Structure 1
Amino acid sequence: MSDTADETSLGAALQPSADVRRARWLLTGHFAGQGVVMATWATRLPAVKEAAGLMLNGPKEFSRARDSSVAR
């Protein structure tokens, strides 16, 4: 056998199977999708907090309700 034949068979042996390549692409797509969802939700958090009245310097009604429950 020549060195070229050995390198070719070794290269073929190191190639991942079609199932492994497919799984890698699916996993990459899954994490990319999760990243998009988390990025979208993270940018909406301030608006959601404001709508729910949970801002740090939010409505006085929330502050009074919180202070009165602590005093009890």
Structure 2
Amino acid sequence: MLVDVILPLFVLALMVVIVWALFSLVGEMARDRGHNPWPWWLLSIAWSPIASIIILWLFFSVEESN
């Protein structure tokens, strides 16, 4: 019972949390750099969220808030 039902549900929930955390990080990084997060989310879906994080980190500086 545990291995057949609970463990797959736990793994699925863990995967959902990891994907949510990655996309949340991409959106927050885009906002911090003054960008609209939607294009970055779409790029993350089409390409890779980790690649979007690396591109934002390497090529765009964080905007200072006044």
State which structure, 1 or 2, has the greater radius of gyration over its C-alpha atoms. Answer: 1
Q: TM-score range by the shorter chain?
A: 0.3 to 0.5
- Higher relative contact order (CA closer than 8 Å, sequence separation 6+): 2
Q: Normalised by the size of structure 1, how large is the TM-score?
A: 0.43
Q: Normalised by the size of structure 2, how large is the TM-score?
A: 0.47
